[in-house]
Amino acid sequence: MSIKLENISYTYMQGTPFERNALDDVSVTIEKGEFVAIIGHTGSGKSTLVQHLNGLLKPSTGKAFINDVDLDGKGDEVKKAKHSVGMVFQYPEHQIFAETVYEDIAFGPRNKGFSEEEVEKLVKDAMSFVHLDYEEFAQKSPFNLSGGQMRRVAIAGVVAMAPDYLVLDEPSAGLDPMARDVIFEEIINLYKKRDIGVVLVTHSMEEAVRYANRLLVVSDGKIILDDAPKEIFKNHSQKLLDVSMDIPQVFKLAESLRQKGLTLSEDIIDAKSLVAEIKKQRGIK
Amino acid sequence: MEETIIKLDNLTHLYRDNNDKEFPALDSVNLEIKKGEFVAIIGANGSGKSTLARHLNALLKPAKGTCLVAGMDTSDEKNLWNIRQTVGMVFQNPDNQIVAAVVEEDVAFGPENIGVPTEEIRPRVEAALKTVGMLDYAKHAPHLLSGGQKQRVAIAGTIVLEPACIVLDEPTAMLDPKGRKEIVSTISKLNKEKNITVIYITHYMTEALAADRVIVMNKGKIAFDGTPKEVFSHAKELKEFGLEAPLAAEVASELIAAGMKLDKEIITDEELVEALCPSN
Ligand SMILES: Nc1ncnc2c1ncn2[C@@H]1O[C@H](COP(=O)(O)OP(=O)(O)O)[C@@H](O)[C@H]1O
Ligand SMILES: Nc1ncnc2c1ncn2[C@@H]1O[C@H](COP(=O)(O)OP(=O)(O)O)[C@@H](O)[C@H]1O
Ligand SMILES: [Mg+2]
Ligand SMILES: [Mg+2]
């Protein structure tokens, strides 16, 4: 099971003076069970790229497949394939539309033809998944929620559809550190429990190294690097700076310590692993 | 650094919640900011940061208490014009702040609006663009710029009005790493070279390290107010407020907890490296 993009190019407003090439001959395959992070400068094409993963945008040239179904076709099979990809957009407030949180989350399952009883169960499950208390929130207007809560409603709406793939476009922008951690806990939970594929667009190098097992670096509409996050951050720091990216702070700190003579393993990816290494060095349990 | 530019006395702001009940988004806040200070404000979502920011240029009025900007009361309509000239605002989304089709026209929009004489506008626009490092882009179309560049144009559009104080509400939340660095260095420069008072709201703790003073908001109140060292050495309490300490402070505090003898006030990478591997 996989999502496959073959030689995709995409031009916005083709044939007008505002024509803009956003993707340039991109090919990539994302397997179910992978956790893929995508980083790249603003305007590099990340959002355009991920909107090809569920057929939301139709490539100007090239082909997109979900589980071997060609998205260019019509009919139930194509619809079903597209529905297997859940998308949480960059601005969740654009995704939310119903009068109550319940109605918003129920929309997808209802559309799929579930009975009201089944819908209610799916909504309850999805809300508990994202830690939104059913009694407190089900009947609230989603528009009066905080940014973090709104994003959780958007995620719950996607979770209720039981997708095979979950695509998140900058889900942590504007969230405080704790709200961010809560959302990622939920995503990791879903990833592990249901063995789905996750695609995460982010501006945070920390998130990429902490959560993903594969990292794509996009620049000017092309994928310029594709490897394990640790490998990319270890081997391509200059290239990343050249394309407006960076390496995680902990990689810099560990490197400064190494230059001062501390021998530290190459496997440091966060504060926890750095602390463990320093303790080992100093013989502290 | 003596002159007071911002003074809040028991400032309370009330909003209505979902059940139409009033609640204080700001709860008897007292705060004094001196001219030339660089103050970072951090706090969980919903803690009242944006509400506070909006009081500083009279977009909101106190329900109780007072908000004085350069001695002017924000609840007095007569002061509105002068307050808006004194305090400039920059918001989160760079795309919503740019109005014109050419960068220099966008920056000229404010001065034209307040009736600055035409012959004065051009040199002021040029100076503002130069300050933010965007003079080379004066003739460019804003929509083709990167996020960091757009945000710098928005900052130029604010400083062209020569405010004494600039308030930035999460200006880097939507930017890539390079854009974030550009904004922090632009703002530090404005503060150091032009002595503009900076009030900088952010969720990035490392950005707050650049400030002279850090204010932590929690549930409509000021929970901490001190130098970055004083605030960020409280890793545990920060977590309770939905925040985190910068990496070096977190690592140092865990090493101390594990029994290592380290200075409690380590907050930057340089300090941690020096403490662990002293250079003689
Ligand atoms: N609806 C649109 N119309 C015209 N151009 C667009 C549109 N959406 C995006 N673009 C342009 O396409 C390029 C890629 O945009 P996007 O995929 O949103 O990048 P990213 O998500 O990496 O910031 C940018 O140059 C952007 O300005
Ligand atoms: N226009 C509004 N109407 C009602 N409540 C609001 C409004 N704006 C903000 N709030 C509420 O006020 C509190 C503080 O919000 P805000 O100042 O935006 O916090 P922050 O900027 O720290 O995230 C939150 O509980 C928020 O939900
Ligand atoms: Mg995007
Ligand atoms: Mg805010």
pLDDT digits (tens, 9 = 90+) for B30-39: 999 999 999 9
Q: For position A90, what pLDDT does the model report?
A: 78
Expressed in angstroms and rounded, the spacing between residue A43 Cα and the centre of ligand 1 is: 5
- Strand, coil or helix: what is B35? coil
Q: In this predicted model, what pLDDT tens digit does every residue of A65-121 receive, in sequence order?
A: 999 999 998 899 999 999 999 999 877 777 788 899 999 999 989 988 899 999 999
Q: How far is the CA of B52 from the centre of ligand 2 (A)?
A: 10
pLDDT at A219: 97
Residue A97 has what pLDDT?
A: 83
d(CA A10, CA A22): 6
Interchain proximity A244–B260, CB inside 8 Å: no
Domains in chain A (CATH in brackets) are: 1-84+165-177+191-232 (3.40.50.300), 97-162 (no CATH), 248-285 (no CATH)
| Residue B66 pLDDT class (50, 70, 90 cuts) | very high
Q: Which residue has the higher pLDDT, B79 or B174?
A: B79
Contact B247 A253 (CB under 8 A): yes
* Residue of chain B minimizing CA distance to A244: B178
Q: Is the CB of A44 under 6 A from ligand 1?
A: yes
The answer to whether the Cβ–Cβ distance between B45 and A148 falls below 8 Å is yes
Q: Alpha-carbon distance A14 to A248, whole Å? A: 38
Residue pLDDT, tens place only, A4-25? 999 999 999 888 888 889 999 9
Are residues B179 and A244, on separate chains, in Cβ contact within 8 Å? Answer: yes
pLDDT at B2: 74
Residues of chain B numbered 11-30 and touching chain A (CB < 8 Å): 17-18
Ligand nearest, relative to CA of residue B14: 2
Does residue B241 contact residue B69 with C-beta atoms inside 8 Å?
A: no
Contact (Cβ atoms closer than 8 angstroms) between residue B47 and residue B218: yes
Residue B275 touches chain A, beta carbons under 8 Å: no
Contact A209, A230 (CB under 8 A): yes
> For a pocket test of ligand 2, which of B12, B18, B21, B50 has the largest count of ligand atoms closer than 8 A to its C-beta?
B50
- The pLDDT tens digits for B177-206 are 999 999 999 999 999 999 999 999 999 999
pLDDT recorded at residue B280: 65
Contact A128, A92 (CB under 8 A): no
The 3-class secondary structure across A28-42, one letter per residue, is EEEECCCEEEEEECC
Q: Closest by alpha carbon to B163, among B171, B173, B155?
A: B155
Average pLDDT over residues A244-269: 94
Which of B149, B45, B141 shows the shortest CA–CA distance to B94? Answer: B149
Of A39, A148, A203, the CB nearest to B175: A203
Could you give the CA distance from residue A203 to residue A37 in angstroms, rounded to a whole number? 10
pLDDT digits (tens, 9 = 90+) for B210-269: 999 999 999 999 999 999 999 999 988 999 999 999 999 999 999 999 999 999 999 999
Distance (Å) from CA B25 to ligand 2 centroid: 6
Chain B residues with CB inside 8 Å of A175's CB? 45, 203
> In this structure, are residues B234 and B75 in contact, taking their beta carbons and an 8 Å threshold?
no
Q: Which of residues 109-148 of A touch B (CB under 8 A)?
A: 140-141, 144, 146-148
Which among B44, B173, B259 has the least Cβ separation from residue A173?
B173
| Alpha-carbon span B83 to B67, nearest angstrom | 11
Residue A149: per-residue pLDDT? 84
- Measured in Å, residue B94 CA sits from the centre of ligand 4 at 15
Report the nearest-CA residue for atom 27 of ligand 1.
A43
Task: Closest CB to B45: pick one of A141, A176, A257.
Answer: A176
Query: Please, which residues have CB within 8 angstroms of residue A245's CB and are 6 or more apart in sequence?
Result: A39, A40, A41, A205, A217, B176, B177, B178
Taking 80 as the threshold, does the pLDDT of residue A217 lie above it? Answer: yes
Residues of chain B with C-beta less than 8 angstroms from the C-beta of A138: none
Q: What is the pTM of this model?
A: 0.93
Report H helices in A60-176. Answer: 76-83, 101-111, 116-129, 134-137, 147-159
The average pLDDT across B95-102 equals 87
- Cβ(A12) to ligand 1 under 6 A? yes
In this complex, do A42 and B146 lie within 8 Å of one another by their Cβ atoms? Answer: yes
> What pLDDT is stored for residue A273 in this prediction?
95
The whole-number pLDDT of residue A146 equals: 79
Distance in Å, alpha carbon of A218 to nearest chain B alpha carbon:
12
Instruction: Tell me the pLDDT tens digit for each residue of B121-173.
Output: 999 999 999 999 999 999 999 988 888 899 999 999 999 999 999 999 999 99
- Over range A217-246, report the average pLDDT: 97
Of B176, B177, B272, the CB nearest to A253: B272
Any ligand 1 atom below 6 A from CB of A48 = yes
| Chain A with chain B: Cβ pairs closer than 8 A | 113
Does A260 have pLDDT greater than 80?
Answer: yes
Sign of torsion over alpha carbons A170, A175, A181, A183 = negative
Q: What's the mean pLDDT when you consider all of chain B?
A: 94
ipTM: 0.90
Q: Is A250 on the interface with B (CB under 8 A)?
A: yes
CATH of B4-228, one of 3.40.920.10, 2.40.50.100, 3.40.50.300, 3.30.750.24: 3.40.50.300
Asked if A177 lies within 8 A of B170 by C-beta distance, the reply is: no
B141 at the A interface (CB within 8 A)? no
Residues from chain A contacting residue B179 (CB–CB below 8 Å) = 41-42, 244
